[in-house]
Structure 1
């Protein structure tokens, strides 16, 4: 039950503890967590949605709209992307071998 002084974030924290004790709280916790952290309106401001400029070994370059887009199109995992992002060194192995990754500031619309 939501008290007058309890914020949604506090409620999420309380439900996180309750779901560990009683699994019947899991769905309510998951729904609130998704509402607070996977909202379309807040996604555009998250760092994961920042454009990424990729330089390929062939000399080509391309700007992708987000880290997720790079992962899906090139097949590189997030751990590799983060390890080489803005480092001025090429990826040493895997699908993105020889690629350079640079983050770009978001353009104001």
Structure 2
């Protein structure tokens, strides 16, 4: 019975917070980023790290939540580089991946004046 009462109190508390004027701002933006890596996972990680940096520069406020709404691939390139150890021995191939993405993000932030 105590658990039921706690749940009802929490719901009432949430309703009170929504009735007050909020300082939380919500904005959507389109960010174009590039990512490079030795495999696709590294390339996507690099691109999303770039997206975070670009979002912090663009909004220039205290970001609470950053949510990608859509990810569109603009360019997806693969580079193959053949090398030989000491010019003659042991040929090997090295593959590099490069991505260019358009990411639409929704940022929730507190505007600091």
Same fold (TM > 0.5): no
TM-score band, normalised by shorter chain: under 0.3
Under a length normalisation based on structure 2, what TM-score does the superposition of the two structures give?
0.25
Structure number with greater CO (CA < 8 Å, separation at least 6) is 2
Larger radius of gyration: 2
Under a length normalisation based on structure 1, what TM-score does the superposition of the two structures give?
0.26
Q: Which one has a larger percent strand, Structure 1 or Structure 2?
A: 2
Q: Which one has a larger percent helix, Structure 1 or Structure 2?
A: 1
